[in-house]
């Protein structure tokens, strides 16, 4: 299990180990055997030695720290009140956590007064941008009328109706976080089938409850063979008995699902996956994969859950369902749907949700359908995530992708751009990445260097660059994307001039 204390020599460019201890550093990015980084200096002698990738990173980290003295001070002081000095372990990133003061439109401001184009989006939440007038108005109105009743409101009905239109599932319930939504989905699959085992994809993150904290970011030595991946706990505190109930398969690998279902005949309740993987860069499903998966699972009496917590409204107005044309039995939504408030939704077919309606599975929670969250979600769905907004996002996506591809080509980098809807990322490898094991072969130091260039150039991307994606909000404009693009150009030129070759291709 990946679980280590920070070390100054470890890479921080890979998403942190999914463990409970804090402060943490991520595991060292594993180098792909036999594909070493090749020094170029011997073949291209020049008068001045070019900086190494490590040199570029340390220079950019020094700039980063110089720009943020107040963040450094707060990070130190906070350790006496907040465990690890932050409010979630994934806010600890190299070289130091960034403390923010406020957001407005497409911009974020740190406590040192630096302005950023926000393409972090609070890990994929801020599709509305910050302080969107429709969200502000909905929240203002609801705050003045009461923020909690623990009884349904008409906003909940409007939200459910709109989710049905977008995601083609007739019945919905609400929760407060992605973790709760996927937890309910797993419970529901087990409750309906009376079976204990579930199937999960290696490298997919579905939140921090026990059943899915398995093989999220496994270390290479605990992964097992590709056709028979091991179930590795991804956090301390997860009982082995529960880990063993989660069977692991690779993304885009139908044969292993078939084998698992056959070997565990009539024991598998269902499978949960991100239909487009978004915790390992962006990994699209191969054509036909999701439709065949659904058919295969149904043939074995098992259910299919899409975790659309990340893809939800960001892959497009109808999420991955709209992009891929496949509707599962259960969908989990969270992050962007609440317009910045804490909300999640679980949708299901009539057959599935009958078990909730009957009370056979009690889907409960004091804050479920909270009126404040429902007011914001209603505004998000009806007033913010509109067809016009998606058209605008698409134009901006094209600007970003075209510029990044040009910078890669102009500088001869081994990298490519993957994007869907409001999300995108630069993947530092030549070949297509089809699953978590391909993803592991990417050298995360390049992603970290890119993240630093963007940050120091006034664009806030999510840390753990290799694992995460940019988010374009409905409030971004072409000037914001220009800033991103000019940082990409400077980064690409600097990396091309570095005394190392990008050679992480798999």
Ligand X SMILES: Cc1ncc(COP(=O)(O)O)c(C=O)c1O
CA distance 107 to 185: 35
From the list 76-84, 172-180, 260-268, 297-305, the region that binds ligand X by CB under 6 A is 172-180
Catalytic one among 116, 123, 205, 361? 205
Place of tokens 């990396």: 495
Can you list the alpha helix ranges (DSSP code H) found in 303-348? 319-324
The torsion of the CA quartet 439, 440, 445, 448, rounded to 10 degrees, works out to 50
- Is residue 320 within the footprint of ligand X (CB under 6 A)? no
Considering the complex, what minimum distance in angstroms separates the CB of residue 204 from ligand X?
7
CA distance 215 to 234: 6
Active site (annotated) includes residue 466: no
CA distance 301 to 159: 31
CA distance 413 to 117: 25
Q: From residue 120 to residue 149, what is the string marking binding to ligand X with x (rule CB under 6 A)?
A: ---x--------------------------
Identify whether 416 is preceded by a cis peptide bond (ω within 30 of 0).
Answer: no
Q: Using CB under 6 A, which residues numbered 276 to 295 contact ligand X? A: 279
Considering the complex, what minimum distance in angstroms separates the CB of residue 166 from ligand X?
18
Q: Tell me whether residue 81 is exposed, middle or buried, using C-beta atoms within 10 angstroms of its C-beta: 0 to 12, 13 to 18, 19 or more.
A: exposed
Active site (annotated) includes residue 307: yes
Place of tokens 């097992």: 224
Considering the complex, what minimum distance in angstroms separates the CB of residue 307 from ligand X?
5
Considering the complex, what minimum distance in angstroms separates the CB of residue 205 from ligand X?
5
Catalytic one among 15, 335, 423, 434? 335
Can you list the alpha helix ranges (DSSP code H) found in 309-349? 319-324
CA distance 346 to 356: 11
**Residue with Cβ nearer ligand X (310 or 397):** 310
Number of residues counted as binding ligand X (CB under 6 A): 14
What is the bridge-based pairing of β-strands 416-420 and 344-348? unpaired
- Is residue 202 within the footprint of ligand X (CB under 6 A)? no
CA distance 250 to 203: 8
Active site (annotated) includes residue 79: no
- Is residue 206 within the footprint of ligand X (CB under 6 A)? yes
**Residue with Cβ nearer ligand X (257 or 309):** 309
**Residue with Cβ nearer ligand X (177 or 292):** 177
From the list 205-213, 231-239, 256-264, 318-326, the region that binds ligand X by CB under 6 A is 205-213
**Of the candidate residues 134, 309, 343, 481, the single one contacting ligand X (CB under 6 A):** 309
**Of the candidate residues 207, 316, 457, 458, the single one contacting ligand X (CB under 6 A):** 207
From the list 40-48, 79-87, 200-208, 368-376, the region that binds ligand X by CB under 6 A is 200-208
CB 330 within 8 A of CB 306: yes
341 Cα distance to chain centroid: 17
**Residue in the shown chain whose Cβ atom is closest to ligand X:** 178
Q: Tell me whether residue 364 is exposed, middle or buried, using C-beta atoms within 10 angstroms of its C-beta: 0 to 12, 13 to 18, 19 or more.
A: exposed
**Of the candidate residues 177, 267, 349, 486, the single one contacting ligand X (CB under 6 A):** 177
Considering the complex, what minimum distance in angstroms separates the CB of residue 123 from ligand X?
6
Q: Using CB under 6 A, which residues numbered 16 to 55 contact ligand X? A: none
**Residue with Cβ nearer ligand X (155 or 307):** 307
Considering the complex, what minimum distance in angstroms separates the CB of residue 416 from ligand X?
22
CA distance 228 to 257: 10
Identify whether 124 is preceded by a cis peptide bond (ω within 30 of 0).
Answer: no
Q: Tell me whether residue 251 is exposed, middle or buried, using C-beta atoms within 10 angstroms of its C-beta: 0 to 12, 13 to 18, 19 or more.
A: buried
CB 488 within 8 A of CB 415: no
**Of the candidate residues 116, 172, 205, 289, the single one contacting ligand X (CB under 6 A):** 205
Considering the complex, what minimum distance in angstroms separates the CB of residue 368 from ligand X?
14
**Of the candidate residues 274, 438, 445, 480, the single one contacting ligand X (CB under 6 A):** 274
CB 84 within 8 A of CB 73: no
CA distance 445 to 422: 24
Catalytic one among 184, 210, 307, 480? 307
**Of the candidate residues 171, 304, 334, 384, the single one contacting ligand X (CB under 6 A):** 334
Q: At 456, is the secondary structure helix, strand, or coil?
A: helix
Considering the complex, what minimum distance in angstroms separates the CB of residue 280 from ligand X?
11
- Is residue 451 within the footprint of ligand X (CB under 6 A)? no
Q: Which residues contact ligand X by CB under 6 A?
A: 123, 177-179, 182, 205-207, 274, 279, 307, 309-310, 334
> Catalytic site residues?
205, 307, 335
């Amino acid at each position: 299990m990946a679980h280590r204390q920070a070390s100054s020599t470890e890479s921080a460019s890979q998403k942190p180990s999914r463990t409970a201890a804090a402060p943490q550093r991520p595991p060292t990015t594993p180098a792909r055997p036999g594909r070493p980084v090749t020094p170029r200096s011997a073949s291209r002698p020049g008068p001045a030695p070019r900086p190494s990738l490590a040199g570029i990173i340390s220079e950019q980290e020094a700039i980063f720290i110089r720009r943020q003295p107040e963040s450094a001070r707060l990070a130190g002081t906070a350790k006496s009140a907040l465990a690890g000095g932050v409010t979630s372990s994934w806010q600890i990133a190299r070289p130091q956590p960034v403390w923010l003061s406020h957001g407005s439109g497409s911009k974020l401001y740190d406590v040192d007064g630096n302005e950023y184009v926000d393409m972090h989006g609070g890990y994929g939440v801020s599709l509305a941008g910050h302080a969107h007038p429709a969200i502000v108005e909905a929240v203002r109105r609801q705050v003045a009328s009461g923020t909690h009743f623990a009884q349904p409101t008409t906003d909940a009905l409007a939200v459910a109706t709109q989710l049905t239109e977008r995601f083609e599932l007739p019945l919905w319930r609400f929760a407060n976080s992605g973790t709760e939504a996927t937890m309910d989905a797993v419970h529901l699959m087990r409750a309906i089938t009376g079976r204990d085992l579930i199937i999960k994809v290696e490298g997919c993150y579905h939140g921090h409850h026990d059943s899915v904290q398995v093989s999220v970011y496994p270390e290479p030595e605990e992964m097992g063979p590709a056709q028979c991946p091991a179930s590795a706990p991804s956090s301390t505190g997860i009982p082995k008995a529960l880990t063993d109930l989660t069977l692991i398969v690779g993304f885009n690998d139908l044969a292993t699902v078939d084998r698992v279902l056959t070997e565990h005949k009539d024991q598998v309740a269902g499978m949960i996956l991100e239909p487009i993987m978004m915790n390992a860069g962006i990994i699209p499903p191969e054509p036909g994969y999701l439709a065949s998966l659904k058919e295969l699972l149904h043939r074995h009496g098992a259910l299919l859950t899409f975790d659309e917590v990340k893809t939800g409204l960001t892959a497009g107005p109808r999420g991955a369902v709209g992009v891929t044309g496949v509707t599962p039995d259960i969908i989990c939504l969270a992050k962007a749907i609440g317009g910045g408030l804490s909300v999640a939704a679980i949708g299901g077919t009539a057959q599935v949700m009958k078990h909730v309606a009957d009370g056979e599975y009690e889907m409960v929670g004091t804050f479920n359908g909270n009126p404040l969250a429902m007011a914001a979600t209603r505004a998000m769905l009806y007033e913010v995530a509109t067809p016009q907004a998606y058209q605008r996002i698409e134009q901006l996506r094209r600007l970003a992708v075209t510029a990044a591809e040009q910078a890669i080509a102009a500088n001869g980098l081994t990298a490519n751009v993957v994007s869907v809807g409001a999300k995108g990322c630069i993947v530092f490898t030549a070949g297509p990445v089809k699953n978590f094991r391909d993803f592991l072969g990417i050298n995360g130091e390049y992603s970290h260097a890119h993240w630093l260039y963007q940050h120091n150039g006034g664009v806030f991307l999510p840390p753990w660059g290799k694992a995460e994606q940019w988010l374009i909000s409905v409030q971004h404009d072409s000037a914001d994307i220009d800033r991103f693009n000019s940082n990409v150009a400077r980064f690409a030129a600097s990396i091309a001039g570095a005394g190392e070759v990008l050679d992480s291709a798999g």
